[in-house]
Amino acid sequence: MMYLQPGWFAPARVGAAFSLRGGGVSEGVYASLNVGAHVGDDPAAVAENRRRLGRALQLPAEPLWLQQVHGCEVFDADAVAPPAQPPMADAAVSRRAGTVLAVMVADCLPVLFCREDGAAIGVAHAGWRGLLGGVLPATVAALDGPARLQAWIGPGISTTHFEVGDEVRDAFISDDAGAARWFAANSRGRWQCDLAGLARQRLQQLGIAQISDSGLCTHADAQRFYSHRRDGRTGRMVALLWLKP
């Protein structure tokens, strides 16, 4: 399999997919459908992998690839002509048919948004830094608020495999005392962090009631998913979202 489709209740005109590891041409630690051009893989292999994925999904256009920096900048894909270089942003929105939004991940959460009437879509790259920095509220604001929005939380690292220190837990709790429930103490004096739980809580606080969660762990399934924390040097998956013409 090259991709999975989100299990959410998006209208028919919303296309969405999440790429898996299989079906590409990359070799070694990047085997085989790596779509990340910034991780040291052969550029020709990455280009072929992107072409194969686009063909399999019958994408209406080349995805809008972002230069992701674990921040909260949101790129409005409708505001300017297609950029010559990937814009520096960790989220993107569109209301225009044929525009394909993309966020790459390898443990961080991809979060997809769509209006219930199919009028607007958004994607966000939500690792712990992005969640803490506000990438989800920034994306929701760019979509004119939470009214009639739904969200899908894609595959990411699970609580079992995501260990963090006091500084991460303290940062979340100082921002929101209710975040403490998503951290469990372990035997090493550190914390197991439920990244998807933090994302769900923040989405609910924003007023989004319809939230779907894949429940899939990138770290636990090496056959289907890349994982930076598990493997270090590795490839990237991509969450894609578009409005059909």
Of 165, 159, 160, 200, the closest CA to residue 179 belongs to 200
Supply the pTM of this predicted model: 0.98
pLDDT category of residue 11 using cuts at 50, 70 and 90: very high
Q: What percent of the chain has pLDDT over 90?
A: 97
Mean pLDDT of the 200-210 span: 97
Residue 157 and residue 217 in contact, taking contact as beta carbons nearer than 8 Å = yes
Residue 141 and residue 79 in contact, taking contact as beta carbons nearer than 8 Å = no
Distance of CA 127 to the CA centre of its chain: 9
Starting at the edge strand found earlier in the chain, the sheet holding 100-105 runs: 3-4, 14-19, 237-243, 100-105
* Structural domains of the chain, ranges and CATH numbers in brackets: 3-243 (3.60.140.10)
Give residue-wise pLDDT tens across range 108-129: 999 999 999 999 999 999 999 9
Give residue-wise pLDDT tens across range 46-103: 999 999 999 999 999 999 999 999 999 999 999 888 788 999 999 999 999 999 999 9
Q: Is the pLDDT of residue 245 over 90?
A: no
Which pair of tokens denotes residue 224?
């289907």
pLDDT averaged over every residue in the chain: 97
Spell out the residues 6+ positions from residue 119 whose beta carbon is closer than 8 angstroms to its own.
95
- How far apart are alpha carbons 76 and 140 in whole angstroms? 12
Starting at the edge strand found earlier in the chain, the sheet holding 91-94 runs: 74-76, 91-94, 121-126, 109-115, 149-153, 210-213
- How far apart are alpha carbons 241 and 100 in whole angstroms? 6
Mean pLDDT of the 170-189 span: 97
Q: Which helix (H) or strand (E) holds 15?
A: strand 14-19
| SS3 state at 164 | strand
Of 197, 219, 201, 80, the closest CA to residue 137 belongs to 201
Residue 80 pLDDT? 80
Residue 81 pLDDT? 80
- State residue 188 phi and psi, 5-degree precision: -100, 10
Alpha helices, H only, 98-227: 128-133, 135-142, 166-175, 195-206
| SS3 state at 25 | coil
Spell out the residues 6+ positions from residue 25 whose beta carbon is closer than 8 angstroms to its own.
32, 45, 48, 49, 52
Mean pLDDT of the 30-47 span: 98
Residue 84 pLDDT? 85
